[in-house]
Amino acid sequence: MTQRTGRAVRRILGLATAGIIAATGILATGGTAQAAYDPTTATIWNDEPLYPGWHVDNATGRLIMQSDGNLVSYVTPDGNWDHAQPVFSSNTVGCGAKAIMQSDGNLVVYAADGHSCWASGTFKGGYLSALATVGADGHVTLWATNGRYQENGMTAYIGPYSPGSQVLRVL
């Protein structure tokens, strides 16, 4: 084997190895990139998803993308989720694969093939951000706000209650 052939073989083996590692990573993660998930927050912002089993909580209120495909908000009178009562439902059992609070202000439940199963029909207009918050009463409020921005590579969260915020819809 010549030196030139040896380099070519090593290069091909290196590329093949990189391809195998990449394919393994894609298969191990289900083939999708997912945003960071923080169940300790009561808010989802621009284009943040809720996948099946993911939820956001506020004391006794919870918004959850259930494994059956339904986006539901609950309230629990005593803090025990076994006693929780539904407040809102998207009625998307068998259809929903994820819910996204879109940056345009629309909260949408999408099917696995990407079509919309349900949408809030809200639009943020000229505001910078859109968000959904779950209250302690289980109601979900969709907001438009200028209260989230980037500065020096850091994201600042002022929140929906900042001056000039607008309620788009309460579910």
pLDDT tens digits along 14-67 = 555 555 555 554 444 444 444 455 656 788 888 899 999 999 988 899 999 999
Cβ–Cβ < 8 Å for 142, 46: no
Q: What is the pLDDT of residue 119?
A: 95
Cβ–Cβ < 8 Å for 46, 129: yes
Q: Is the pLDDT of residue 108 over 90?
A: yes
pTM for this prediction: 0.69
Give, in degrees to the nearest 5, the angle at Cα 114 between 112 and 119: 105
Q: What is the pLDDT of residue 129?
A: 79
Please give the structure tokens belonging to residue 139: 């109601």
The SS3 assignment for 93 reads coil
Q: What is the pLDDT of residue 143?
A: 81
Q: What is the pLDDT of residue 96?
A: 95
Q: How far apart are CA 13 and CA 7, in angstroms?
A: 10
User: If you ran DSSP here, which 8-state letter would residue 81 be given?
Assistant: G
